[in-house]
Structure 1
């Protein structure tokens, strides 16, 4: 079992400036490498406090690359629907060279109607755009004089430059919210998987990961594939203080998410069945219920260790948990302490790697 660090800024500028958030996050990147976490990753969103401090994962991860030498850097994820594949493939290949092959590329479709409107991209094209961008990027990284003829994107012949550091290309992850079929397709094509338990049930996520593994094996791909599952983690010695922090930060997250998904109340798309219920789900969120269901990790090291053990039993011991330690306006010192406690007192129960570095 592996553990990484995830940055999803749900931050109101009134509570924390962008420059402060970036500097604190990059300090945590350095700490993550020192504690031997497997990766750091960040998202892509626009136009609101819900992720809006991270409009370009490549820029943030380039800064992270300059401060580190070993830890893997993950886009989690770049939104394929808003990008031209020639430009995106080149920017990601540039980052792969700057970090000497430490890049993992996660691609996502996007799901917020307001963001599609900002880019003047029809939501009904999102699946097509996603599929084409992933296929085209892999082709540009791997081939010469590439000609691409899709429904949306057509180009070539062109050879992608720069060539990526990793050959034939960086590992590709596919982000999936609720669809077992999407997970199975990722497995069939030999990609890796990124999922978020907060937007689905434990039973549904079990079906998604099982579908991924079965499809990957049936297609004959080498190895089991890598599955990243993203959680927010609040950790400290004082349970009451930690749970108070967690409840406040989760309330901030839900308020900002509810505003970001509000447009789903009047939007419908066959590309996103059931997403019109997102606004109601966000408004009905209850922290205690989420904690009991292990959708968020919070408490003392003993508490969180027990939660991770349950998650391992649910989804397997070959997963990687991507943990957010600095959500919203949480003070930096508490995020830093949570990472240290996790490395010293939680991770060692599941892998010896983090413990060895922390003990040193």
Structure 2
């Protein structure tokens, strides 16, 4: 298994009471609650944490994109990835991912990612997403065009990376007389592509058809297993067998000396993450036309835990997060890998309000007590229960 340190970079100083009153930390949570001095300190702490993860031996570090929210302070993840590109020496650097339909010119993403691929000398992973529904409100984009714009932007970027330029591109949404980006990607033909998703059927199918690595965002492990099963079925329809490295699960892990201490230490930060930072207005999450009714039903079933207040015990019991002693964490991660068949763990070591020192202690514990046990581990067949 490959274990990446995935960071959301939340505004850890958010006013949780204000979020409770407003009912969301997204879009309508006023930016007057953001203190630039505290925010600047957080950016440096978070970059330090990702650089530390690379030193500790994580297989990669990852950032992502969200807009107008305290949940994640990375509206332009390429800026943070650029700050990391010359410091990440051992593992991969991933952006998971850039929201293709939210830009008017996808060529800037082709250029941005090509630069990062060159700076890392081919240790870069490109993530493509559509962006969650609320971000179509924040960016003033028509959600009904989301899937079509995503597909066309993807095709344009891939052509920009693989076709000799200059050439013309004539699409419905993007039209260019000259496509000739400099630099070209370092990797041939282009960086690996990951596609994070909340469980949309169309994204699962689209990713499997292109043999891209599918990343399931935070969800109960039973739902993750079902999603990955769908991916493998779609891969078979496309004429191949999916490998574990094509399946990545986004999770959160916290390790302490005992299960009791781990739960006690992590509870306030985990519950703030689940109940305040994740809180979004349901009417904003799936605007009309954003995705199919079938996919909406499926994503709501997967993310049902977000519609109610969750305790740390709830999230642990449902396999949304892994918390406990080294032995407990190892046992659960192995069992979940076997159940769902994934080969990549996108692990958050910081979440919610967790302070810097606590994060680094968690990173050290994971590096010492978890990483060595999973270095070459593949999913094992799950034995049927005795009748």
Separation in structure 2 between the aligned mates of residue 18 and residue 255 of structure 1, nearest angstrom: 21
Separation in structure 2 between the aligned mates of residue 122 and residue 276 of structure 1, nearest angstrom: 21
How much has 1:156 moved relative to structure 2? 3.1
Superposition pairs of residues 262-273 of structure 1, within 5 angstroms: 262-264=282-284, 267-269=287-289, 271=291, 273=296
Does the C-alpha gap of structure 1 residues 62 and 258 become closer, same or farther in structure 2, counting only changes over 3 Å? closer
Superposition pairs of residues 253-264 of structure 1, within 5 angstroms: 253-257=273-277, 259-264=279-284
Superposition pairs of residues 97-136 of structure 1, within 5 angstroms: 97-113=118-134, 115-136=135-156
Separation in structure 2 between the aligned mates of residue 166 and residue 313 of structure 1, nearest angstrom: 32
Unaligned runs of 5+ in 2: 16-34, 378-387
Q: 2:238 aligns with which of 213, 219, 226?
A: 219
How much has 1:25 moved relative to structure 2? 1.8
Separation in structure 2 between the aligned mates of residue 149 and residue 245 of structure 1, nearest angstrom: 55
Match of 1:250 in 2: 270
CA contact (8 A) 1:184 1:208 kept: no
How much has 1:131 moved relative to structure 2? 1.3
Q: Does 1:301 align with 2:326?
A: yes
- Aligned pairs, number: 348
Q: 2:350 aligns with which of 319, 322, 326?
A: 326
Superposition pairs of residues 180-259 of structure 1, within 5 angstroms: 180-198=201-219, 201-220=220-239, 224=243, 225-257=245-277, 259=279
Separation in structure 2 between the aligned mates of residue 34 and residue 250 of structure 1, nearest angstrom: 25
What TM-score do you get using the length of structure 1 for normalisation?
0.87
Aligned Cα root-mean-square deviation (Å): 2.6
Separation in structure 2 between the aligned mates of residue 350 and residue 266 of structure 1, nearest angstrom: 37
Q: What is the SS of the residue equivalent to 1:138? A: helix
- 100-109 or 261-270: which moved more? 261-270
Separation in structure 1 between the aligned mates of residue 91 and residue 116 of structure 2, nearest angstrom: 14
Unaligned runs of 5+ in 1: 354-360
Q: Does 1:26 align with 2:51?
A: no
Match of 1:335 in 2: 359
Q: 1:315 aligns with which of 337, 340, 344?
A: 340
Does the C-alpha gap of structure 1 residues 247 and 112 become closer, same or farther in structure 2, counting only changes over 3 Å? farther
Q: 2:176 aligns with which of 147, 155, 180?
A: 155
Does the C-alpha gap of structure 1 residues 330 and 284 become closer, same or farther in structure 2, counting only changes over 3 Å? closer
How much has 1:258 moved relative to structure 2? 5.0
How much has 1:165 moved relative to structure 2? 0.9
Separation in structure 2 between the aligned mates of residue 92 and residue 10 of structure 1, nearest angstrom: 23
1:295-342 per-residue CA deviation (whole Å, 9 max, x = no partner) reads 1111111121121011111122x5111111111221212211111111
Q: What is the SS of the residue equivalent to 1:67? A: coil
Separation in structure 1 between the aligned mates of residue 285 and residue 129 of structure 2, nearest angstrom: 22
Q: What is the SS of the residue equivalent to 2:370? A: helix
Q: What is the SS of the residue equivalent to 1:228? A: strand
What TM-score do you get using the length of structure 2 for normalisation?
0.82
Separation in structure 1 between the aligned mates of residue 43 and residue 147 of structure 2, nearest angstrom: 32
Q: What is the SS of the residue equivalent to 1:194? A: strand
Which runs of 4 or more aligned residues in structure 1 lie more than 6 Å from their structure 2 counterparts after TM superposition? 275-280
How much has 1:138 moved relative to structure 2? 0.9
Q: What is the SS of the residue equivalent to 1:260? A: coil
